[in-house]
Structures are given as structure tokens and as C-alpha cells.
Amino acid sequence: MTDKNRVIIFDTTLRDGEQSPGASMTLEEKIRVADALEELGVDVIEAGFAIASNGDFEAVNEIAKRLKNTSVCSLARASRKDIDRAWEALRPAVRPRIHTFISTSPLHMRAKLQMTPEEVLEAIADSVSYARNLCEDVEWSCEDGTRTEPDFLYKAVEIAIKAGATTINVPDTVGYTTPEEYKVMIQNIIKNVPNSDKAIFSTHCHNDLGLAVANSIAAVQGGARQIECTINGIGERAGNAALEEIVMAFRTRNDMLPYTTGVVTENITRTSHLVSSVTGLAVQNNKAIVGANAFAHESGIHQDGMLKDAGTYEIMTPESVGLKKSSLVMGKHSGRHAFREKLKDLGYELADNEFMRAFTEFKDLADRKKTVYDEDIISIVDDNLRDNDRMKITGWKFVCEKGKANSAELELEIDGETKTVFSEGNGPVDAAFKALRSLVGGEPHLQLYQVHAVTRGTDAQAEVTVRLEEDGKTVNGHAAHTDTLVASAKAYVNALNKLLVKREKTAPEEMSA
């Protein structure tokens, strides 16, 4: 990099983000997210953990074939088998990167790896040099780096760079550190490692104490020039550093944080909506940058100030993150051209068949609602882009009548064939879930059933989120419809489709980094 203040944005939504409980994505969903991340302008996409499953390998491989500008990365443990699998998946990439890691804290070495410090140092040298012989761009991470003894950490980093690592990542794996501590740690590594000038230093912060973004920024102030982060801050436990918060902090407070990125901030809101939709992880209303209330003002004092000068209470504009207020109101008389223009305003470019499916559903919705809001259209598009799901609901009948058994009869298309299922239950939702559960066998347990209105009014679409758990694996399902019962059934089917994908995965040990 020629600009010493240019920060590389390494997005791990598809790897660490997918490790969020319930956030499993299909291949098609991962490709959509990868395309959006490339359009967003991130520098590196960690597309998965190639050895974790055939599904992860396929996702990394397909994304590697597809992306033209962004580096594609796969995670690999410090083993030649992992590294070979990662390289096999990454080979088609224009800019491939192998990211290998091993734990370095005394606790992890003793309790998890059951290796001596000397054995860990040998593994670092072997794994990094092996990866470098395959790929020019190699990143090495010291898992649980912030709880690693300084002198041992300096030695490990020196060995990794000597073996060929071009990026050194120092993860705060358990979200333990604080900003000043992390900043000094990065400064000391750069100062005490003789060959530190030959690598770029990176952060990877978890949010267990709510400090992931602050820690990431502090590390940059200490000399790091790559930040590993995720859209909406999703990730294991309390999540990762949120990409949108970091990037907008640099843009908004460039006087104090004179750093730049390649992110096109106007694409942030669109990408946030996409990730929320495909993972089923809703963004909290008061979430910074992308929450529904981020640019909302209800207090009379605030509203008065906003009317006089928006700068009184807004430190950035909604437009700077891609939040647009369109004057194009949609209704049942709106035609194809107006609908296509609305989609462009919302950041969607659909193929002809996808557009016609979405337009047909829009017209159906417009017949039932006086006004169709942007949020309604986003829900329609997100639902229709799931055209590769194995199971889809094509018809329904619900019975809820006093004195009679509540029941649900559902017609589905499953792998191209039509099938009907029926069940009675304690209410039509319970009946629908029982009927659908019979299709997949096993014992998926309902952990969460949540309903909220997409927009205002009694004719608003109901947006339903369902979370299922089976054998320690969780998946989220998400759907919207003007009929709450239909939305519930569709959300459950969406969760079942993801559960079928999840069943194929057998995650290896030491998956976090």
C-alpha cells in the first residue's frame, strides 16, 4: 500500500459471521452476500473454512471463481491437510489468500491443543511455509493472541513472518482486551519483532465486553492496517466488530481518525438488509448506522432542531450510508417501469425471471394494501431470491374455529415434486409447524417464534422469525406475508431448508479464531 493510512477491510461475515447461532447460509445466499461485499468495496472476503464441510468448500470455490476485484480467503488450521483443502478451493481466485492459525495463549496451548510452546512454534513455521509455497498471500493468526505472553508472542510472530506470512493477525478471540491495552500490544509487537516491517498487522475483535469496534480502532492507532469485521457485527457469542461502525467512524471523525478504506459507504444499508435477510438475524432498532432508529427523531426538541438544521442532531447524513427517502409511492396502479425504478432506488438489480416473480407478488400485495412501502418491497424481493430452496410452500388452508380442532393443510413443492401435509395442533401455527416438521424427520426444537409488523397499519405484512435447534445446531428462518399464519409457515420452511444444509456440515475442532 502506498497510503500509510489506508486500512484494509477484511470481511468475515461468510465465515465467522456464519458461526452465529442460527446464521447458516445456503450456497446461493453466500454468493449473493459475496457479490454485495465486492460491490461494497471490501478488500478481502473470508469466504469460509474449506475443510469444515463439502458445502463450505463449494462456497469458497464458487466465490473464488466469481469475484474479480476482491481477494478471496479461506481459513485453515495449522495442518497440511487443512491448507491443501483451502488451496484447492481458492485456486481459481484472481487474488487468493490462505489464512492459517494456531492458539498461542498458555491456556489454549495446555487445555485445547495439548502442545508445548516449542511444538506450537514448530507448527507455525511448518504450516506458514507450506502455505506460502502454494499461495503468495498468506495470513497467520495467533488465536487468543490478547491473552498470550508477550515474549512468546513476539517469537511466534517473528517465525510466522520469516516463514512467509504477509499479514499477521492478532485476534482478541474472547473479547477480553481494552482499547489502550490493545493499542500498546500492537505497538510493542511492531517494536519488538525484528522483521515486523515485512508484514501488515491485523485486528480481529469479538464483542463480549462491547468493545470490539473501539478495540479495532485503537489497534489501527497502534499501527495495525487491516481490520477483520462483519456486516451488522454478527459472529460467535456477542459478535464481531461491525464493519459499518468502523468505516463510518473513520469517515465521520477523519479529523481524529485520519484513516481511509475502499468501502463505498452508500452501499452499507443495502448490504446490511441483505445479510439480515439471509441469516434471519434481525438488526436491533437502536443499532448504530443501520438500525431502524439510527436516523429517527421523536423528541420534540430534536425535531425542532432538525427542522432548522439537520446537523444539530445528525453527525452523518442518511444518504451517506445509502438510506434514501424515495418520492416514488407504489400502489396497485404502478406498472413494471415504476417498479423497476423503485428496485434500483433500493439497490436491487434483478434478472428478468426474478423481476417478474417479484412484480407479480408486488401486484398481489398492492391489491390487499392501499400503500406499499419500501420495507414491503424489500421483503418481497428477499423472499423471491430464495429460488434454490429445496422446499417451497405453494398452497395453504388453516382452520381456527371455536369448538373444532385447529388444523393446517399445506401444499409444498419439494425437489420439484408436489406434496401435501396435514396436522392438527394447539392453534393453526402449532398445527402448521407439526405438519412441516414431519417432512424432515429428526427432532428440531423450536427455540424462537417472533412476529412483528414490517410497516404500520392493520394491513401491514407480518414478518416472522423462527429459530430451530437440533443436536446443538441452530438455524433461523425468516418470511413476510400479510397473513401471519402464512408468514409463520413460510418462515418455518425457510428454517427447515437451512437445517437440511446444516445437517451436512461436520465442523472440525478449533473452528474459532
Q: Is pLDDT at 240 greater than 60 in this prediction?
A: yes
Provide the pLDDT for residue 310: 66
User: Of 245, 247, 167, 176, whose CA–CA distance to 206 is shortest?
Assistant: 176
Segment 87-97 shows an average pLDDT of 98
| Predicted confidence (pLDDT) per residue in 129-186, tens digit | 999 999 999 999 999 999 999 999 999 999 999 999 999 999 999 999 999 999 999 9
pLDDT number for residue 309: 64
pTM of the model: 0.85
Please write the tens of the pLDDT for every residue from 424-475: 999 999 999 999 999 988 889 999 999 988 777 777 888 898 999 998 888 8
Average pLDDT of the chain, as a whole number: 89
Query: At what angle are helices 150-163 and 117-134 packed, to 10 degrees?
Result: 30
Q: Which residues contact 167 (CB under 8 A, 6 or more apart)?
A: 97, 137, 138, 139, 140, 199, 200, 201, 202, 226
Contact present, 11 and 46 (Cβ < 8 Å) = yes
pLDDT of res. 452: 83
pLDDT for the residue 382: 73
At residue 505, the pLDDT reads: 64
d(CA 434, CA 425): 7
Give the model's confidence band at 509: pLDDT under 50 very low, under 70 low, under 90 confident, else very high. Answer: low
Q: Is the pLDDT of residue 327 over 70?
A: no
Q: Cβ distance 325 to 318 under 8 Å?
A: yes
Place of cell 484513516: 259
Quote the CA–CA distance of 502 and 384 in Å, as a whole number.
Answer: 22
Contact 45, 63 (CB under 8 A): yes
Give the residue carrying C-alpha cell 481459513. Answer: 75
Average pLDDT for residues 46-57, to the nearest whole number? Answer: 94
One-letter identity of residue 455: T
pLDDT (0 to 100) of residue 387:
58
pLDDT of residue 303: 45
Q: Residue 188 has which C-alpha cell? A: 510493542
Task: Give the pLDDT of residue 510.
Answer: 47
**DSSP string across 192-247:** H-TTGGGSEEEEEEB-TTS-HHHHHHHHHHTT--EEEEBGGG--STT-B-BHHHHH
Residue with the bigger pLDDT between 314 and 317: it is: 317
Task: With cut-offs at 50, 70 and 90, classify the pLDDT of residue 368.
Answer: confident
Cell numbers of 113, please? 491443543
Mean pLDDT calculated for residue range 386-410:
87
